[in-house]
Structure 1
Amino acid sequence: MPNRTSRLALAAAGVTVVLWASAFVSIRSAGAAYSPGALALGRLLAGSVVLGTVLLVRREGLPPRAAWRGIALSGLMWFGAYMVVLNWGEQEVDAGTAAMVVNIGPILIALLGAKVLGETLPPRLLAGMAVSFAGAVTVGLSMSAGSGAGHASLLGVVLCLLAAVAYAGGVVSQKPALAHGSALQVTTFGCLVGAVACLPFAGQLVEEANRAPLSATLNMVYLGVFPTALAFTTWAYALARTTAGRMGATTYAVPALVVLMAWVFLGELPGLLTLGGGALCLAGVAVSRSRPRAAVTAPAGSGRS
């Protein structure tokens, strides 16, 4: 049933957005004890163990050969490069600047999806993305101002920009793979590719794990199990059932949820400007996912007088 499938895809996208928002809180804790590459590798190893176990239990096996190009590209760009570069970038810039720069990603996804995948760019999608991006910029500016201004090096901005490009490229590469492999297969092997690419950081991971507090290590494991293993699988499930551009626009709900979670779990009371930006993010997502109303056909014989 198309309606049931659409509802399931929307629910899967919702799970992804909530878990990705929670990742920002966990990264803040784990990042104090782990370097960017070690944190990415630990997260990917934890995710690979969970995903591999589920794959074996479900007996899904290897994905078809036609899916491997997309899996390899998304694994290198999104699971590998994105995670390392973003972890590094967030050490060089304040959270607000990082949020603003990385949120170029959904715009790049829509443009690449149109160019590479031949997807259309409906006016509602473009309008919603414009509203959400304005909200993300508002949240970013308010967070930067509240953090005392301005820890934002040129290196950090460039790293966050590279993270946005890697994110967009990974999503657009993953979409064709989902036409051949299941969401679980594509996510599992993409995560494994990313983990293999991050193996040069294995020495750092072992060294830092020996002296890291338990809370930081548990946060790293959490990042691997939930925002990676579960959230990337629900993302792939939803992506297989809609366009890359529409899915990218959905992630604009993340900044609003991060603000809410920081308020609830960290006691960071958001200002009015931050709340307004979060509301804009959510409004833009609603617009981008809405569909124009079908024209109502007048019954025969009911013409206007």
Structure 2
Amino acid sequence: MTSDLRPGRARPALAAAVTVVLWASAFVFIRSAGADFSPGALALGRLFSGSVVLVTILLMAGHGPPPRSTWRGIVVSGLLWFAVYMVALNWAEQHLDAGTAALVINTGPVLIALLGGFFLGEGFPIRLMAGIAVSFTGAAVVGMSSSAGAATLLGVALCVIAAAAWAVAVLVQKPALVQGSALQVTTGGCVVGTIACLPFAGQLLEEAAAAPLSATLSLIYLGVFPTAIAFTTWAYALARMTAGQVGATTYAVPALVVVLAWIVLGEVPGPLALAGGVLCLGGVAITRWRPGRARRSSPEPTD
């Protein structure tokens, strides 16, 4: 068994890795900013910061607006993923401990793999399904290790809504990436999400005036790195991998969150969290490895 990281596959894999690392860092910064910003205001501030960066890059790169054929996917993914997902997750974390929230949100990659198999013709490869099963088990272990038993029905429902919005958004985003670039599709989605969250503008202005500098900087970081950069690298990977494969890579997030919380917040992980993290990474590795014969016979992807 050999790692499937030929040159044509290395760049999408690297893009997915960048996404995973930045999304993992978001949990730390959401905790910092969430104490001073309400869910809607935090989502709007993050999306507005990301939109400013993305539109600037788009103009500097000389890209035009996305093709008309991509607008449907951009609008739907922008509303569901950039708006509904972010507000629902921010709100859910006010009612759930981090471990339970992470566990429920991690149903997202499972839904992505199932929807991709049914509606995008990606099928249900045994190795992918096995990797998802191992990683989901790891995510459950990480969730149990950090759960304080503070789950509420509203918090769980909001996490389920966020996970479902994420999965459906990926389903409509992937076809849009056939006609538009990752930068165009991501910029469009982020702008749509920002517009959808404008009703929270009053809250954002009021809370930003009272928030400490550290919370405001955390909000800006969330917009620039886990949003502008990470969503673009996600789109780049999604255009070149199956939805199930790129979704499965996000199972590395819980393991990285454990490490980042240890380094940044001084939260020493227990044996259960470490074991769950290893399972998460092991499941991702399973989805990215192929037998040598299949690797040699599969066609070279194009960028």
Q: What interval of TM-score do these two structures reach, taking the shorter chain for normalisation?
A: over 0.9
| CA positional deviation for 1:91 | 0.6
Q: Distance in 2 between matches of 1:92 and 1:296?
A: 46
Aligned to 1:89: 92
TM-score after normalising by structure 2: 0.95
Deviations 1:17-54 (A, max 9, x none): 00000000000000000000000000000000000000
**Taking structure 1 as reference, are residues 296 and 39 closer, same or farther at Cα in structure 2, changes over 3 Å only?**
closer
Letter matched to residue 180 of structure 1: Q
Q: Distance in 2 between matches of 1:13 and 1:108?
A: 18
Deviations 1:87-116 (A, max 9, x none): 000110100110110000000000111122
Pairwise CA RMSD of aligned residues? 1.3
Q: Distance in 2 between matches of 1:187 and 1:242?
A: 17
Q: Distance in 1 between matches of 2:156 and 2:295?
A: 49
SS in 2 for 1:196: helix
Q: Distance in 1 between matches of 2:160 and 2:295?
A: 45
Aligned to 2:174: 175
Q: Distance in 2 between matches of 1:295 and 1:163?
A: 36
Aligned to 1:226: 225
| CA positional deviation for 1:295 | 6.5
SS in 2 for 1:179: helix
| CA positional deviation for 1:5 | 2.7
Letter matched to residue 23 of structure 1: A
Aligned to 1:117: 120
Matches within 5 A, 1:57-72: 57-72=60-75
Q: Distance in 1 between matches of 2:294 and 2:29?
A: 47
SS in 2 for 1:128: helix
Aligned to 1:302: none
Aligned to 1:287: 286
Letter matched to residue 68 of structure 1: W
Letter matched to residue 13 of structure 1: A
1:54 paired to 2:57: yes
Aligned to 1:217: 216
Matches within 5 A, 1:118-137: 118-137=121-140
* Runs of 5+ unmatched residues, structure 2: 297-303
Whichever of the two has the greater Rg, that structure is 1
Letter matched to residue 24 of structure 1: F
Letter matched to residue 227 of structure 1: P
Aligned to 1:43: 46
Match of 1:23 among 14, 22, 26: 26
* Runs of 5+ unmatched residues, structure 1: 298-305
Aligned to 1:257: 256
Q: Distance in 2 between matches of 1:295 and 1:14?
A: 23
Q: Distance in 2 between matches of 1:157 and 1:92?
A: 8
| CA positional deviation for 1:292 | 2.7
| CA positional deviation for 1:260 | 0.3
Deviations 1:251-294 (A, max 9, x none): 00000000000001110000000000000000000001212321
Letter matched to residue 244 of structure 2: G
Aligned to 1:301: none
Aligned to 1:98: 101
Aligned positions, number = 292
1:159 paired to 2:162: no
